[in-house]
Structure 1
Amino acid sequence: MKITIISTLGVVRFCRDLIRQFFDNQGILNASALTYTTLFAVVPLVTVSYSMLAAVPAFQGAGDAVQQWVLENFVPATGEVVYEYLSDFTAQARRLTVVGVVFLVVTSIMMMKNIEAALNRIWRVDQPRKGVSSFLLYWAVLSLGPLLVGIGFVVTSYIAALPVYTSATDFVGPARVINMLPVLFSTIAFMLLYTAVPNCSVPILKALAGGFFAAIMFELAKRGFAFFVTQFPSYELIYGAFAAFPMFLAWIFISWIIILMGAELSRALTIYQPASKSISRPHLLVILHLLRQLWLVQQQGQPLTATEILQRTPCLNQERWDQYMQLLMQANVIRRTTEGGYLLSRDLHGLSVHDLVSMLPWPIPEAETLKQAEAWEVLLNSRLQGLDDAKKELLQMELAQLFSHTEPVTDHP
């Protein structure tokens, strides 16, 4: 019973930290910005998808079928109306000149850059992809993405015609088998989004967990949104025939919140360390432990991942790590590698304890009563004790003596 309570408290604490991290990373603001960008980029993306599918003879005519299936399964209630308008817009867009096509591609790339920026912010990555790597990633999404969707659609149709599939639907039920496909495809799509887009190394299993969470939440939100649209149609009285577009915009906003929350979960599962009641050591001591771990592995020419830093540094949890990482990177003490690891960016022979303290927003801690400590901790504690004694001696002055002092004091350089 005690273990169950502890486990429940751990889950509650994890969910609380996850939500706090989502708001700290400005998740609502990012979802709003991505919704605004999506509104302008959805037609270019659909047009590019049509063009890529049309380039393969086997996929001739698959674009309409794929788009219809996506809107029926992933856009609740208003999918048919949105599909008609998107088809009209896309038909017009496909008759554009070369300049218009370039504009569509640029709009699509801007959309993906905004997505990358939002995910990089979640993973604490300051430098986005640049140059050839950025171009190759975006081109792969624009070219291979629609082709993979088309292949998945053709393979699904082929599997649906097999006798094995017919036997499975007879046993489980055709509706249940078909309803599992959007969850499966959504999980795979979100996993690829979480692993490929951020400019850092994301563990595949953690991305898969985040993708599965986003897919389940996506299905629940879709059912809830469809229930609201069908059972509370008062919005139609206000917007009339235009009612589908505000609902579509609201759904895009909800979708981005779910997608960003799945990315937050992927990162939390990667680096999360539960808060402990024993975390009472001063910030300076924890940061020194952190820097010592980086100093030790740097002598072997290796960086440390965030997970390894959290595991090796005493009294360090996710909240403290996020603070320390930002401070130390801004002070150019540590830096992040392209693979997502961390290493020292300066020689510690030229960095004193006083220099480090001046970089931190916290005061110098007092000396501790050490029971078990390493040699460097004992040396630092003796220096802190000497500093405490010096401060106590210098400030051992009665207030009456301080206030009765009338001679001017000259500041010496």
Structure 2
Amino acid sequence: MGERIKRLVDFLKVGIWTVDRHDVSPVRYIVYEVIRKLLLAIECFTTKRMIDSAGYLTYSTLLAIVPIMAVLFAVARGFGYNKYIEEWFRDLLSSQPQAADIIVGFVNSYLVHTKSGVFLGIGLIVMLWTVIMLVYNIEQAFNNIWQVKKPRSLFRTITDYMGMFLLAPVIIVVSSGLSIFMATVAGETDRIALLGPVMRCLIAVMPYVFMSAVFVALYVFMPNTKVKFRCALFPGILAGVAMQGLQLFYIHSQIWVSSYNAIYGSFAALPLFMLWVQISWIICLFGAELCYASQNFEDFAFRAGTDEISHRYRLMMSVMLMSHICRRFEKGEKPYTALELRMITNIPIRVTQDLLYDLTRIHMISEVTCDEKGEDSVYQPAEDLQRLTVGALIDRMEAYGKWSFNLNTSGCDRVAWTRVLRARADYLDEQRNVLLKEL
């Protein structure tokens, strides 16, 4: 048994990554590919410390949940749908009825005091700040997963999230109305042999479908980059089913919850709710990692990051990317995208994006974005092609960063130091005679 486990571990560490499409049957290859994506998602989830991200998202959620629900309740009341929103919220927290009662009470009290003008001014600013911080932390966590270094613009942030707050009550009301309609139809067709069980089955599946759709939408629209729907579909369904499983676990563990209440009394609602929120964020972030792994899967190349690459090799790859960009610009043709450069150079897409970001920071190239999410971003030279040389690239890459240390340079006037500095200057002068477009 021990030998079998050892062989299985070795296969998961090494063997599964060397399996080619032609080595096994199509079904087994698909199974291996799913396992590899899961392993990559688990590895990225642990190395990026997503548990910590789930922790501060839990804290931000606790601060912002009352203002967010107040906005949703206020919008719903404006359309006369506040009862449906409250029922949806209580169903969402069916495993935490005490927490639901407390939050709804806070929301109603908040709306009453807001109407009377008590929370205007500094109080309103603080409440809005908690909501903005939650949204910002969510976006930062997703951008960290997707290796996106460019955040949304202020205008896009305002329009996207205002639209989300306005559409959320409408979607909730429509889904609630659909559930009520299906329950009514199921009650009327219960005596029909075939239709009654089918309707009951659809009603039972509706929460899973709705939760999965929420996660799929979150994975597609939240990161500030293009996410393919097919890559977000399976992770979204997996996260939605896991969330419903978490709900069922909390509902069916009432004996444990009752003993917890006996110890902590009414205070037990807070830690239980915090635990539920943190586990929910862990499920959400793992689904996002799985979505990222599905879209950017490249066997061993996927696992390579710029932090693991030597400085010499980074220089060589940067020179390769710059030469292709400069030659395309000189010909007057359409600039390359990151994916096109990856196909030409065979550099992994994650490394390509990191290098292009570095080249943009040192003003060797400029990113031209036609779409706010960067899905049509192209790259072109930032200066005259006659000034873009190998020496300029090396000098800027090595000089980028902060120079804030007070070093003791009293011995730099010695002969040996002079020879070293002169040799480096001669090396850069020689490389400045090599144009990147000529490579």
Which one of the candidate residues 105, 118, 128 is aligned to 1:88?
A: 105
Report deviation, 1:353: 3.1
Distance in 1, matches of 2:352 and 2:74, equals 46
Is the counterpart of residue 156 in structure 1 residue 156 in structure 2? no
Report deviation, 1:199: 2.6
**In structure 2, do the counterparts of structure 1 residues 17 and 258 end up closer, same or farther at CA, with 3 Å as the change threshold?**
same
Distance in 2, matches of 1:346 and 1:165, equals 68
Report deviation, 1:230: 4.1
Partner of 1:275: helix, strand, or coil? Answer: helix
Structure 1 unaligned blocks of 5 or more: 362-407
**In structure 2, do the counterparts of structure 1 residues 2 and 219 end up closer, same or farther at CA, with 3 Å as the change threshold?**
farther
Query: With structure 1 as the length reference, what TM-score do the two structures score?
Result: 0.73
Report deviation, 1:345: 5.0
Q: Please list the CA deviations of residues 312-345 of structure 1 after superposition, one character each: whole Å capped at 9, or x if unmatched.
A: 432x335644653554344344555342334145
Which stretch of the first structure deviates more once superposed, 292-301 or 42-51? Answer: 292-301
Report deviation, 1:185: 1.0
Q: Please list the CA deviations of residues 103-135 of structure 1 after superposition, one character each: whole Å capped at 9, or x if unmatched.
A: 444432332222222222223333323333222
Which one of the candidate residues 215, 219, 233 is aligned to 1:208?
A: 233
Give, as a single letter, the amino acid of the residue that structure 2 aligns with 1:171: P
Partner of 1:67: 89
Q: Please list the CA deviations of residues 119-155 of structure 1 after superposition, one character each: whole Å capped at 9, or x if unmatched.
A: 2222333332333322221211222211221122112
Match runs of 1:285-300 below 5 Å? 285-295=316-326, 298=329, 299-300=332-333
Report deviation, 1:227: 5.4
Partner of 1:199: helix, strand, or coil? Answer: coil
**In structure 2, do the counterparts of structure 1 residues 302 and 210 end up closer, same or farther at CA, with 3 Å as the change threshold?**
farther
Distance in 2, matches of 1:273 and 1:149, equals 39
Partner of 1:250: 275
Match runs of 1:241-390 below 5 Å? 241-275=266-300, 282-295=313-326, 298=329, 299-305=332-338, 307-314=339-346, 316-317=347-348, 320-321=351-352, 323-325=354-356, 327-334=358-365, 336=367, 337=369, 338=372, 339-340=374-375, 341-344=377-380, 346-347=382-383, 349-357=386-394
Structure 2 unaligned blocks of 5 or more: 1-21, 399-414, 423-439
Distance in 1, matches of 2:155 and 2:162, equals 10
Q: Please list the CA deviations of residues 178-212 of structure 1 after superposition, one character each: whole Å capped at 9, or x if unmatched.
A: 33212211122122222333333332333333322
Distance in 1, matches of 2:39 and 2:46, equals 11
Partner of 2:408: none
Count the aligned residue pairs. Answer: 357
Q: Is the 8 A contact 2:325 2:380 kept in 1?
A: yes
**In structure 2, do the counterparts of structure 1 residues 178 and 162 end up closer, same or farther at CA, with 3 Å as the change threshold?**
closer
Give, as a single letter, the amino acid of the residue that structure 1 aligns with 2:219: Y
Partner of 2:197: 171
Report deviation, 1:288: 4.1
Q: Is the 8 A contact 1:14 1:274 kept in 2?
A: no
Query: With structure 2 as the length reference, what TM-score do the two structures score?
Result: 0.69
RMSD: 3.5
Q: Is the 8 A contact 2:364 2:393 kept in 1?
A: no
Partner of 1:343: helix, strand, or coil? Answer: strand
**In structure 2, do the counterparts of structure 1 residues 302 and 320 end up closer, same or farther at CA, with 3 Å as the change threshold?**
closer
Q: Is the 8 A contact 2:219 2:227 kept in 1?
A: yes
Partner of 2:379: helix, strand, or coil? Answer: strand
**In structure 2, do the counterparts of structure 1 residues 276 and 91 end up closer, same or farther at CA, with 3 Å as the change threshold?**
closer
